[in-house]
Amino acid sequence: MVTRGQQRVAVGRGWKAPEQGMIHIRVDGGISRNGEVGAVAAVCRDHTGNFRGSSTVVYPGITDPACLEMMACREAQALAQDLMFSKIVISGDSKNTISDIGEEAGGLHSLITSEIVANKSLFEVCNFIFEGRNYNPDAHYLAKFATSLNQGRHLWIEDPHDPACIPRVLVMNE
């Protein structure tokens, strides 16, 4: 960890800035410790790294990791709509999910994939990229935390619900 003034910079992990004017939404899915509850999380930051909002959806009984990752991508689009952003990049740590969306693939989660692909037309720009988990701590921790919440959708705008899950200090790659 290198310190520059008040900003902390981590090499090899952390937040990577999107282009100016774009919003970056990181997504992840998680399963409760008892294996009975699944949750998805989406965390939105602007090009300067400022927190803009986050959301989770808790699904009792849905614990398939691939399904949760796909549903997290759909939740990212819903969050972007809630925040009224039209230029978004969505990143996740599941190569298969990001690939299925890019290829508009069928398969087990084809209904969710087709909904995501159709929803892309609601945005000026809606790109999906793969980033490893080490670049995605906000969404990862929020998804794990969300498994302890009540069933349904939870939304935070402007202020994160828990600084331990969504750090206020920007950690960037350089």
Q: What pLDDT score does 158 carry?
A: 75
- In the chain, which residues have pLDDT < 70? 1-16, 161-174
Closest alpha carbon to 42 in 146, 149, 169, 164: 146
pLDDT of residue 7: 37
Neighbour tally for 62: CB within 10 Å: 17
Q: What is the pLDDT of residue 17?
A: 76
How much is the pTM?
Answer: 0.84
